[in-house]
């Protein structure tokens, strides 16, 4: 299947990427669409994802459109990164189930306690129904599998909302 790559994980947490189109094809084949989503290199994201292959695909996608990505494999590592360099972060992307210990809901609450306006994007294969109850305000949930273009669009929405907030 050609088209927008799909990022997904099955119940046994095996990740895969479907389709191998050129970057411009990820955004409907339009270079202007890509430019609309391109962000400044100073936009640094924290990615909390415990599946290395999923994280690699997400990181590659985000870096191709100009984000700098710090990857954390576990909630404790993500929380440590939030504590050490939170002022430099433009957003957080977190899976919900991050192996043992705290989950993505806790990582996001910790992030918002330190940075009340930080854009937060949740990604999950099976916990999307809990977003309204457990998610932080003004966040977005992407249900796996999702297309790369959906990831970029969700981040763009969150970053634009943050820029429109009064200082």
Tens-digit pLDDT profile for residues 111-133: 999 999 999 999 999 888 999 99
Spell out the domain ranges in the chain: 41-164
Segment among 40-44, 49-53, 97-101, 160-164 with least mean pLDDT:
40-44
What is the secondary structure of 107-146 as a DSSP string?
A: HHHHHHHH-TT--EEEEESS-GGGHHHHSPTT-EEEESSE
Query: Is residue 165 predicted with pLDDT exceeding 80?
Result: no
| Tens of pLDDT, residues 13-65 | 333 333 323 333 444 433 333 344 444 446 899 999 999 999 999 999 999 99
The CATH H-level superfamily of 41-164 is Response regulator (3.40.50.2300)
* The model's pTM: 0.78
């Amino acid at each position: 299947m050609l088209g927008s790559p799909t990022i997904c994980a099955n119940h046994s947490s095996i990740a895969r990427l479907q389709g191998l189109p050129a970057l411009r094809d990820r955004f409907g084949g339009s270079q202007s669409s890509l430019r609309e989503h391109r962000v400044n290199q100073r936009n640094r994201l924290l990615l909390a994802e415990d599946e290395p292959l999923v994280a690699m695909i997400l990181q590659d996608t985000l870096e191709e459109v100009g984000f700098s990505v710090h990857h954390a494999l576990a909630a404790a590592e993500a929380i440590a990164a939030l504590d050490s360099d939170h002022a430099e972060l433009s957003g957080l992307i977190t899976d919900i189930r991050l192996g043992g210990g705290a989950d993505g809901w806790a990582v996001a609450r910790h992030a918002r306690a330190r940075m009340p306006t930080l854009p937060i994007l949740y990604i999950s294969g099976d916990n999307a129904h809990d977003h309204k109850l457990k998610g932080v305000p003004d966040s977005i949930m992407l249900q796996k599998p999702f297309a790369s273009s959906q990831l970029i669009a969700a981040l763009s929405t969150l970053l634009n909302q943050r820029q429109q907030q009064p200082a």
